[in-house]
Amino acid sequence: MSDIKKVIKDKKTDLNPIWIMRQAGRYLPEFRKIREKHTNFIRLCLNSDLSAEITLQPLKRFDLDAAIIFSDILILPYGLNQKVEFVKNVGPILGDLNFNQMSKFTANFFTERINPVYKAIELVQNNKLTENKSTIGFVGAPWTLLVYMLNKKSPKQGLKKNFFEDKVLITEMLKIIEKFLKIHIKNQINSGAEIIQIFDSWAGLLNNKDLDKYVYNPTFSLVEFTKTLDVPVICFPRGIKDYKKYCDIIQPDVICIDYEIDPVQIAKNIKIPVQGGMNPKILLTDKENLKKEAKRYLDIFKDHPYIFNLGHGVLPETNPTMMEYLVKMVKDY
């Protein structure tokens, strides 16, 4: 069993496994080299050999405990025939949403469209580099996907003015998203994913009164479904104010915390295994500071089942030597 699984299943507190959100891609020169030649990002995700190679790149360099599949949460709208493009220095731009068409798609149609993602998982899972490690599959949470599919671009500058206007469309879209997320989760598990992480990157955009409809209900349904397949679920509701309430309602196997939440309060109030927390910007400072901050998290979660990770994805400008230092430091703790 991998150390991550031991932390999740056996609630081990003496192990300090580590993996890093967005560890595949972005900051690695060997990734950039591949990316330069493959300008269409979705097409790159759908190239099983390259996707597997990129997934394994960080494991070749660092003693990480998991491989996270090189894909994207926006592979779901792509699988449902919504246009998805990644524009340099802008981010994702999505095409118009064709609800009538989407509501008619079958599981087979969707699975066929993104089948190379599943092939990549098989390749990664069968590679020697992932022996005794965990292969992590992932999805975007229903709310975060609804955001991209309706907003058609990143909500970094806010949601479009009439985002919540068409309540019927929103309700129906949430149902479709949930249905195909379950198919996507099941397919990933059938291909060898041993853990599923649900990224709710935009949970922090909602008011408390809207959390039931957009976050709690649909995410709980996904978590419950994944558990019936006997695979643990890690939830990352970035920006949510009340992590305790989130855990009480959703009951994930692991809660991944963002860097804005006080880890001391988390360690005190939350009983389930915890992952993450440290601000990715720390990796842009110096080794001494990095050691101090990483140690702070390790100390706080010393008697708690804890998987080391960051409080959001590793930043593209991160120097790989800082990552190397971090992984060694956590392993030697």
Nearer to ligand 1CP, 74 or 121 (CB): 74
Tell me which residue of 259, 163, 257 sits closest to 205, measured CA to CA: 163
The Cβ of residue 131 has, within 10 Å, a number of other Cβ atoms equal to: 9
Q: Please identify which residue in 62, 78, 199, 306 interacts with ligand 1CP, judged by CB under 6 A.
A: 199
Residue 255: strand pairing partners: 235, 274
Q: Taking the complex as a whole, how short is the minimal distance between the CB of residue 156 and ligand 1CP, in angstroms?
A: 5
Strand 134-140 relative to strand 91-94, pairing = unpaired
Beta bridge partners of 235: 198, 255
Which CB atom, from 92 or from 305, has the smaller least distance to ligand 1CP?
92
Long-range contacts of 82-85 (CB under 8 A, 24+ apart): 82/149, 84/42, 85/41, 85/42
Q: CA 310, CA 281: separation in Å to the nearest integer?
A: 10
Minimum CB distance to ligand 1CP smaller for 23 or for 300:
23
Site for ligand 1CP in 5-34 (CB under 6 A): 21-26
The footprint of ligand 1CP on residues 274-333 (CB under 6 A) is: 313
Q: Count the residues of the shown chain that bind ligand 1CP, applying the rule CB under 6 A.
A: 23
Tell me which residues in 122-181 interact with ligand 1CP (CB under 6 A).
Answer: 138, 154, 156
Site for ligand 1CP in 50-89 (CB under 6 A): 68, 70-74, 86
Instruction: Specify the residue, 129 or 291, whose C-beta has the smaller distance to ligand 1CP.
Output: 129
Nearer to ligand 1CP, 124 or 267 (CB): 124
254-257, strands of its sheet edge to edge? 66-68, 134-140, 195-199, 233-236, 254-257, 274-276, 306-307
CA-based radius of gyration for the chain: 19
Q: Give the one residue of 27, 41, 246, 306 binding ligand 1CP; rule: CB under 6 A.
A: 41
Q: Which residues bind ligand 1CP (CB under 6 A)?
A: 21-26, 35, 41, 68, 70-74, 86, 91-92, 138, 154, 156, 199, 201, 313
